A = this chain, B = another copy of it.
Amino acid sequence: MSPRRSAQAAAATREAILDTAVDRASRSGLESLTIGTLAESLGMSKAGVIGPFGSKEALQLAALEAAVATFRREVWEVAAGVAPGRARLEAIIAAWLDYLERGVFPGGCFLTAAAAEFDDRPGPVRDAVRDALRLWLDVLAAEVARARRAGELPREIDPKQAAFELNALAAGVNQALQLFGDERATERGRRAMRRAIGL
């Protein structure tokens, strides 16, 4: 292979490993990712799986980053095209619930699962989960604050409180869908999330 072909092939291999890793981790958790199982389901050697990453932890971090990128694409980027303020908040809620309902990750929201799994395991993966969630809470609070300043939401809505509630309610929808297969979960979530921002 030419150097370019070879770099493309390496990138494609890395992506195939990450796809499988994200899929498995969304079902069984990041911690239970084993190089052996990944190698088996990809028909690769263990060395071939670990090679592009260097360590299991680096692979976990890369899988988390890929999952965050998916969430950003499915939720944030859908809403970012809408005018800022109340309209964008409504678009975020709609895209977020749609993402949960479609089951973009086979095991439900990857970040919610990773947060529950790693909240008590200090280390780089926990830090990355915390930073990603913190960033999302900040984005939500900023959007609520903007809509409130524009007079589009009631004055008594507290942006950080609203961000906390939106995140908790979305995780509740995820749980109701994953654990109970509750068909009313999305509708319940929509109602509660709209109320959390005073709509």
Q: Interface of A with B (CB < 8 Å)?
A: 26-29, 31-32, 106-108, 112-113, 115-117, 119-121, 126, 129-130, 133-134, 160-161, 164-165, 167-169, 171-173, 175-176, 178-180, 184-185, 188, 191-192, 195-196
- Rounded to whole Å, the gap between the CB of A198 and the closest CB of chain B is 11
Would B196 and A192 count as touching, CB distance under 8 A? yes
Distance between Cα atoms of A167 and B192 in the complex (Å): 12
**How far, in whole Å, are A179 and B113 apart by their CA atoms in the complex?**
12
A168 CA / B119 CA spacing, docked (Å):
17
User: A120, B172: Cβ atoms under 8 Å?
Assistant: no
Given the interface contacts A161-B191, A179-B130, A179-B133, does A117 sit within 8 Å of B29 by beta carbon? yes
Give the 8 A-B CB pairs with smallest separation, nearest first: A168-B172, A116-B116, A119-B178, A107-B120, A27-B120, A119-B179, A164-B188, A165-B192
Within the complex, the shortest CB–CB distance from A115 to chain B, in Å, comes to 6
CB-CB under 8 A from A133, the residues of chain B are 179-180
A98 CA to B139 CA in the complex, in Å?
A: 29
22 residue pairs of the A-B complex, CB under 8 angstroms, read A28-B31, A28-B120, A29-B29, A29-B31, A32-B32, A107-B120, A116-B116, A116-B117, A116-B175, A119-B178, A133-B179, A134-B180, A160-B188, A161-B191, A164-B188, A165-B169, A165-B172, A165-B188, A167-B175, A168-B168, A171-B171, A171-B175
| Complex alpha-carbon distance, A26 and B112, angstroms | 16
Contacts of A173 in B (CB 8 A): 168
The residue on B at minimum CB distance from A134 is B180
Contact status of A129 and B179, CB under 8 A, knowing A116-B117, A121-B28, A196-B192:
yes
Measured in the bound complex, the distance between the Cα atoms of B171 and A78 in whole Å is 27
